[in-house]
Amino acid sequence: MPAQNAAPNFFNRNLAMKKTFALSLFIFAMGLLAAQPAEKNLPPDFPQFDFRPSARPDRILLACAEDPATAQTVIWRTDTSIREAYAEIARADPSPEFDEYERKFRAETKVLLNDFAVAAYHQATFTGLQPGALYAYRVGSGPYWSEWIQFRTAEAAFQPFSFIYMGDAQNDLYSHWARAIRAAYCRAPGAGFILHAGDLINHSQNDYEWGEWFEAGSFIHRSIPSIATPGNHEYIKDTLGNKIGLSPFWNAQFQFPDNGPPGLEGQCYYIDYQGARIISLNSNQDYEVQAEWLEKVLAGNPNRWAFVTFHHPVRSTSKDRQHQTVLSLWKPILDKHRVDLVLQGHDHAYGRGQNLETSPDSSDASSGTVYVVSVSGAKMYPLAEQPWMSRAAENTQLYQVVEVFMDHLIYRSYTTGGEVYDAFILLKRPGRPNEILPLPTDIQEERRFINTLVGPDER
Ligand SMILES: [Fe+2]
C-alpha cells in the first residue's frame, strides 16, 4: 500500500541523506586536518604566518633563461584549483594601454605535495623577446592575476652591467634576511640578475621557510631574474643526516637551463649574460662528471668574462670544513681557465682572496682567479683566518654588487647598513692573469662585528 510504503522509503532516504551528510562531514574534517601545518615540521619560533596557497598567484619568481636576451622564465604558485595558468607579456611603453598588445603563454603546471599543503607550481618561458628591451608581464588565470611587473632583457652582445651576489640566506629569512636582500636591491635596482650561492633555506622540505624567503624578497624576486645553485640544505636527508636527493621544491620553484650533464639539469648549467658566462655547479654530488663538463664549458666560452658559483667553497673560511674534492678536482680547472670570480657560500663567514698561493711550489700561483665566500643571512660561524684571505669578516651579514665593464670589473661587498666593507677592481690583462687593485672601503677591517650601539646590559 502506498501509505505503508511511504514511511520506509522516507526512512531509507533520510538514512541515506544522513550517511551522505556524515561522509561529507568526515571528508571536510579530513580536508581541514590536511590543510593544517604538520606541527612536527614547524620551526620552534613559528610565528603563525599563513603561507598556504590560494587561487591568486604568489611566490612569483623570474629565473634566468639560457639566452636571457631573447627569453625569460617565470614561475609562480597557486592552490590546486588552478590547473590551467597563463603568463602574458607586452612591451612596456609608457602608455597604460601597453597591455593591449600582450602575448599569452600557457604554463606547464606541476602539483607539489609538501609538508604543509598541496600546491600547484606553474612555469612559463617567454620566448622571441627583443634584446635590451623593457617588458611587462603578469601571471594568472580566470579572475586571478598578478600585477603587471616590469623587467629588462639582456643585451645580445657585451654591454656593461651589474649583478648582485648573495651568500647563504638560510635562517631567520623573514626576520633577518629581508634587510639584506632589500638593501641589495636598493643599492642596485638595475642589476641584471641576483646570484644566490646555495642554502636559500634551512630545511629543504619546509614550505614555511620557502614562504619566508619569498616574503622577504617580495617583489624583488619577480622583478630581477635569479640564478641559484643548490646548497646542502636544499637536499632531503635521511634520519642519519645523509643526503638522499634534491628537494622537489628546487625544480618546482626554479627552472634553470638544462645544458648541464644529464641528471643535473637546472643545477649544473651555464647562462651567457651580456658578454659573461655564468656557470652553476652542484657541489653536493657528481664531482667528476661536472669537472669534465666544466672543462668543456670554460674551454668553449666565447664571452669576455667567466663567473662560477657553487655552494661548498674551494677554500673554507671556517675550521674543519674544507671540502677536499672541490679543492682537488675543481680548483685546477677554474685556475687553468683563469675564471674571473668564483662566488660561494656554506661557511657563514666572509673571506675573499685571489689565487696567489703562499706555497712556493704551487703550480697555479698566478691564475688571478678571485675566490669569495659570503653570507647574507643570520647564521654565523667563527672565522678561521687563513693565508689565502685578503679580506675577511665574521658575524656580519653582507651582500655584494659587481659592476662589469669591458676591461675591468668593480666588486663591492656591503654591510646591511650600506657601508663598503670590501672593494676592488679586477683588471683584465690580455694574455696575463687579472690584476687586482684595492679600492677604499668605508670601514676598517674588523674580523668580528658586535653590536656597538648598545651596552652589554641593553643587548
Ligand atoms: Fe651549506
Per-residue confidence band for 240, with pLDDT thresholds at 50, 70 and 90: confident
Q: State the distance from the centre of ligand 1 to the C-alpha of 199, rounded, in angstroms.
A: 5
Q: State the distance from the centre of ligand 1 to the C-alpha of 141, rounded, in angstroms.
A: 37
Q: State the distance from the centre of ligand 1 to the C-alpha of 247, rounded, in angstroms.
A: 15
pLDDT digit string (tens) for 345-354?
Answer: 999 999 999 8
Q: State the distance from the centre of ligand 1 to the C-alpha of 346, rounded, in angstroms.
A: 4
Mapped onto helix, strand or coil, the DSSP state of residue 48 is: coil
CA dist., res. 416 & res. 179, Å (int): 7
CB 309 within 8 A of CB 227: yes
CB atoms within 10 A of CB 124: 24
CA dist., res. 267 & res. 285, Å (int): 11
Q: State the distance from the centre of ligand 1 to the C-alpha of 71, rounded, in angstroms.
A: 31
Q: Which of 388, 363, 358, 359 is nearest to 373 (CA)?
A: 388
First to last CA, the chain: 87
Q: State the distance from the centre of ligand 1 to the C-alpha of 230, rounded, in angstroms.
A: 9
Helix and strand element counts for the chain (H, E): 8, 25
pLDDT score recorded for residue 44:
55
Q: Is the pLDDT of residue 215 over 90?
A: yes
CA dist., res. 394 & res. 290, Å (int): 31
Environment class of residue 151 by beta-carbon count within 10 Å: exposed (0-12), middle (13-18) or buried (19+)? buried
pLDDT score recorded for residue 102:
86
Q: State the distance from the centre of ligand 1 to the C-alpha of 283, rounded, in angstroms.
A: 10
Q: State the distance from the centre of ligand 1 to the C-alpha of 284, rounded, in angstroms.
A: 10
pTM above 0.75, yes or no: yes
pLDDT digit string (tens) for 107-161?
Answer: 999 999 876 779 999 999 999 999 999 999 999 999 999 999 999 999 999 999 9
Q: State the distance from the centre of ligand 1 to the C-alpha of 282, rounded, in angstroms.
A: 12
Residue 214, H or E segment = helix 207-217
Q: State the distance from the centre of ligand 1 to the C-alpha of 82, rounded, in angstroms.
A: 35
pLDDT score recorded for residue 360:
42
Q: State the distance from the centre of ligand 1 to the C-alpha of 366, rounded, in angstroms.
A: 29
Q: State the distance from the centre of ligand 1 to the C-alpha of 448, rounded, in angstroms.
A: 21
The length of the chain is 459
Q: State the distance from the centre of ligand 1 to the C-alpha of 159, rounded, in angstroms.
A: 33
pLDDT digit string (tens) for 39-62?
Answer: 445 555 555 567 889 999 999 999
Q: State the distance from the centre of ligand 1 to the C-alpha of 127, rounded, in angstroms.
A: 34
Q: State the distance from the centre of ligand 1 to the C-alpha of 311, rounded, in angstroms.
A: 7
CA dist., res. 332 & res. 311, Å (int): 17
List, in order, residues 6 or more apart from 392 with CB less than 8 Å away.
317, 349, 350, 351, 352, 383, 385, 445, 447
List, in order, residues 6 or more apart from 131 with CB less than 8 Å away.
69, 70, 153, 154, 155, 156
C-alpha to C-alpha distances, 401 to 265, 376, 398, nearest whole angstrom: 27, 13, 10
Query: 63-78 burial string, b = 16+ CB within 10 Å, else e?
Result: bbbbbbbbbbbbbbbb
CA dist., res. 119 & res. 252, Å (int): 10
Q: State the distance from the centre of ligand 1 to the C-alpha of 168, rounded, in angstroms.
A: 7
Query: 187-201 burial string, b = 16+ CB within 10 Å, else e?
Result: bbeebbbbbbbbbbb
CA dist., res. 200 & res. 215, Å (int): 13
Q: State the distance from the centre of ligand 1 to the C-alpha of 8, rounded, in angstroms.
A: 69
pLDDT score recorded for residue 345:
98
Q: State the distance from the centre of ligand 1 to the C-alpha of 258, rounded, in angstroms.
A: 23
